[in-house]
Amino acid sequence: MLEIDGETLVESSVTVEYLAERSGAPFYPASAAKRASARLMAEIQPFQNYFAFIKVRDDKDALAKKVAEFEEAVAAFETFLEIHQGDSEGPFLCGSDMCFGEATMAPFVARAIPNLKHFCDVDVKEICKRHPRVNKLITAILERPSVAATRPSDEDIVAGMMRMMKMSDSLKTTVRPAETSRRVASILAYITRSSCSRGLCQQAPSTQLLLCTGTSLRGGLYSSVGTPRPSKKS
């Protein structure tokens, strides 16, 4: 969650792109095509689903399948970089300049490496070394001063995952699955702070909150970025 200029934003990718647009080039590429590539990169990057490995860590066959899928995903990501970096030597999508696509990736890369090594004995860095563009990219992301200065230590990352696993286990027996979703939690937090104050969902139970999410978020997010809201007909 980000509070800025009297507005509240949720969802990391939304927040990162909002800040990138405010800062301008090179963090927010001038080319619409390059911005689309950055969004696609953040969407398909293979480092975000590390929790799926951890859930099957005690099942040798299931874990092996996940590792094989990850290796295929990294290979596909290498191909993506070959296409979208073009003649650039990198290391980033836009050459020597980091953009919002890599900023969205950074926390996932930083967490996947120690978590998969600790819980699953999967060496993400070794897998990536087989793919030069991917290896160059993740190395540059982790070595960027702003990332290095703000990322937690590997020990803290592993400890945080242990806490998350304990919380996940306890929630399975006490809370409906929809209510354990990170996305739903952030939406509810946003509605509580923004939309409910406008009378869109006054003290509604969670099921009603989910039903009014589209209306509530649309109103709040349009005001956050200073864009005219669509008419009721749209």
The encoded tokens of residue 18 equal: 């909002």
Long-range contacts of 118-126 (CB under 8 A, 24+ apart): 118/154, 118/158, 118/161, 119/53, 119/54, 119/57, 119/158, 119/161, 120/53, 120/54, 120/57, 120/63, 122/53, 122/63, 122/67, 122/70, 124/47
pLDDT above 60 (res 218): no
Q: Which letter, b or e, does each residue of 59-79 get, where b requires 16 or more Cβ atoms within 10 Å of its Cβ?
A: eeeebeebbeebbebbeebbe
- Asked if 9 contacts 2 with a C-beta cutoff of 8 angstroms, the reply is yes
Average pLDDT over residues 226-230: 38
Q: What pLDDT score does 171 carry?
A: 53
Q: Provide DSSP, 43-66.
A: HH-TTTTHHHHHHTTT-HHHHHHH
Question: Which domains are present in the chain?
Answer: 32-174 (1.20.1050.10), 177-216 (no CATH)
pLDDT band at 6 (very low <50, low <70, confident <90, very high): confident
Q: Are strands 2-4 and 7-9 parallel, antiparallel or unpaired?
A: antiparallel
Give pLDDT tens digits for 16-72. Answer: 999 899 888 889 998 999 999 999 999 999 999 898 999 999 999 999 999 999 999
pLDDT of res. 109: 97
Region 102-109 average pLDDT = 95
Q: pTM score > 0.75 for this model?
A: no
The rounded distance, in Å, linking the Cα atoms of 87 and 95 is 9
What pLDDT does 7 receive? 85
Q: Are 11 and 17 in contact (CB under 8 A)?
A: no
Percent residues over pLDDT 70 in the chain: 72
Question: How do residues 148-157 score in pLDDT, each as one tens digit?
Answer: 999 999 999 9
Tens-place pLDDT, residues 116-146: 999 999 999 999 999 999 999 999 999 999 9
The reported pLDDT for the residue numbered 176 is 44
Q: Is the Cβ–Cβ distance between 74 and 136 less than 8 Å?
A: no
What angle separates helix 100-120 from helix 32-44, to the nearest 10 degrees?
10
Candidate from 1-5, 81-85, 224-228 with smallest mean pLDDT: 224-228
